[in-house]
Copies of this chain bind each other. A is one copy, B any other.
Amino acid sequence: MFFKLLHQDSECPARRGCLELNHGTVHTPAFMPVGTNATVKAVNLTDLEGMNINLILSNTYHLYLRPGIEVIANSGGLHRFMAWPHNILTDSGGFQVFSLTSFLKVEEEGVAFRSHIDGSSHKLTPEKIIDLQTTFGSDILMPLDVCTPQQITREKALIALQLTSRWAERSLRHWQEHSDSGKLFGIIQGNFFEDLRRRSAQELLAMDFPGYAIGGLSVGEPFTLFKDLLEFTAGLIPEKYPRYIMGIGTPEYILEAVEKGIDIFDCVFPTRTARNAQAFTRLGPLSLKKETNRLDNRPIDPDCSCSTCRKYTRAYLRHLFKAKEILAAMLTTHHNLYFLNNLLLLIRESITKESFREFKKDFLNTYISKEKP
C-alpha cells in the first residue's frame, strides 16, 4: 500500500499517515503549496526544501496552454522543467475549464473551450488529461471531472455526477493501460446533495482508485454547510484510502478538514494573500499595508522562526508593499508558507500525542481572539 496509516485519533477521524510517492515520502496531514505555472509564486523552490515541503500542486490546464506539453516533454517532464526533485500532484484541469474558459461545450467525449489567455480553441478528453499528466511525470494524477456551481437543481447535479463517473472510468482504464507511474485519485462530486455525494462515492469506490478527492466544496458556501458536507463525504471514504480536499488553505479550514479525516489539501490562499500584504500570525491575519505598522519594529509574528520574522520588521515590510517592491511578495510568501507548514507539523504532533482536539481548540481560541496581532 502506498498510503500508510500511522496513527488514528481515538476521538475523531483525524489521523497521521504517509504517502510513499515516486519522489519521496510525504507525511500527512500535509498542505500543498500551489505552483500554477510550474512555480510557486514569489518563492525559490529551495526555500520550500528548507521547510521540508516535498509535495506541491501544479495546474494541468495552465501548463497545457502555457508553455504547452511540447516544451515540458522536451525538458524531460515537469520535475526537470521546474527543477523540483520532489513530488508533484497535478490537478485535472476540470475546475479551470469550468471557471476560466469561454464558449465551454461539455459532451460525452470531453470538453471544448476557448483559452482564457488567447482565445484559441481546444478540446480535452479524459484520456488526453491522463496523457498530459503522464508526460508531466506527475506523482499524483487527477481525472477530468465536471465541476458544478452552487444552487443548481438536483437533476443537473445528477447529470454532472454521472458524466464524472463515466469519465472517471475511462480515465482509470487509460491510466492502467498507458501509465506506469504515479497514483490516480478519483474525485467525488454530487454538488450539495447528500444522496448524490453518496452515489458518486459508491460509483467511484467500486472502481478502487488509489486515493480519493472531494470536489465541489469550499466554493463560497457557508462554513457550516462546508463542515457538514465535508464530514458526510469524508465518512464515505474507507480508512485505507488517502483523502484529499481541494481549495483549503486557512488555519480554520485546515483544522476542520483534519478533524474530518482529510490527509492532503491545497490552496492559493497563503501565497496569493501574501502578495496582497496579508500575513498569518498566531493572533490572526495581519494587514501589512496598514498605517499602524509604519513605526512598528516587531516581526510579523514574534513567535515565528522563519527567516522573514528573524530579520525583517513590519515597518520595513509595509514600506516594501507601499513601494510595490518584489521583495515584499517574496518575504511575505515565505512567511505564510512557513507558518502554515509549521501549523501542519504541530497538527501531526498533536495527533500522535492524542491531543489534536485540544490543540485545535487552543489554536483557534488564540487565532480568532479579540487581541490584535
Residues of A participating in the B interface, judged by any CB pair closer than 8 Å: 37-39, 41-44, 46, 66-67, 70-71, 74-75, 81-83, 294-295, 297, 307, 311-313, 315-316, 318-320, 322-323, 325-327, 329-331
Option from B38, B43, B313 in Cβ contact (under 8 Å) with A316: B38
B316 close to A81 (CB less than 8 A): yes
B295 close to A70 (CB less than 8 A): yes
Copy count, this protein chain = 2
Q: Which chain B positions have C-beta within 8 A of A329?
A: 326
Task: Report if A316-B82 is in contact (Cβ < 8 Å); known contacts: A37-B323, A326-B329, A326-B330.
Answer: yes
> Nearest Cβ distance between residue A274 and chain B, in whole angstroms?
11
Q: Which chain B positions have C-beta within 8 A of A81?
A: 313, 315-316, 319
> Nearest Cβ distance between residue A113 and chain B, in whole angstroms?
19
A223–B315 Cα distance when bound, in Å, is 43
- CB-based closest 3 A-B pairs: A67-B319, A37-B323, A83-B311
With both beta carbons as reference points, the residue of chain B lying nearest to A83 in the complex is identified as B311
With both beta carbons as reference points, the residue of chain B lying nearest to A319 in the complex is identified as B67
Q: Which chain B positions have C-beta within 8 A of A330?
A: 42, 44, 326, 330
> Nearest Cβ distance between residue A72 and chain B, in whole angstroms?
9
Task: Report if A37-B71 is in contact (Cβ < 8 Å); known contacts: A42-B327, A311-B83, A327-B44.
Answer: no
A71 close to B38 (CB less than 8 A): no
B327 close to A39 (CB less than 8 A): yes
> Nearest Cβ distance between residue A369 and chain B, in whole angstroms?
28
A71 close to B294 (CB less than 8 A): yes
Q: Which chain B positions have C-beta within 8 A of A74?
A: 295, 297, 315
Task: Report if A319-B38 is in contact (Cβ < 8 Å); known contacts: A71-B295, A297-B74, A326-B326.
Answer: yes
Q: Which chain B positions have C-beta within 8 A of A320?
A: 37, 39
Instruction: Please indicate which of the listed interface residues A37, A39, A307, A312 has the most CB atoms of chain B within 10 Å of its own CB.
Output: A39
Task: Report if A71-B315 is in contact (Cβ < 8 Å); known contacts: A322-B66, A325-B37, A329-B326.
Answer: yes
20 more CB-based (< 8 A) A-B contacts, given A39-B320, A70-B295: A38-B316, A39-B323, A39-B325, A42-B330, A43-B327, A66-B323, A67-B294, A67-B322, A71-B294, A71-B295, A71-B319, A74-B315, A75-B313, A75-B315, A75-B316, A81-B313, A81-B315, A81-B316, A82-B316, A83-B312
> Nearest Cβ distance between residue A106 and chain B, in whole angstroms?
27
A245–B312 Cα distance when bound, in Å, is 32
> Nearest Cβ distance between residue A143 and chain B, in whole angstroms?
25
For this complex, 22 residue pairs linking A to B, each with C-beta atoms less than 8 Å apart, are: A37-B323, A37-B325, A38-B316, A39-B320, A41-B326, A41-B327, A42-B326, A67-B315, A67-B318, A67-B319, A67-B322, A70-B295, A71-B294, A71-B315, A71-B319, A75-B297, A81-B313, A81-B319, A83-B312, A83-B316, A326-B326, A326-B329
A326–B329 Cα distance when bound, in Å, is 9
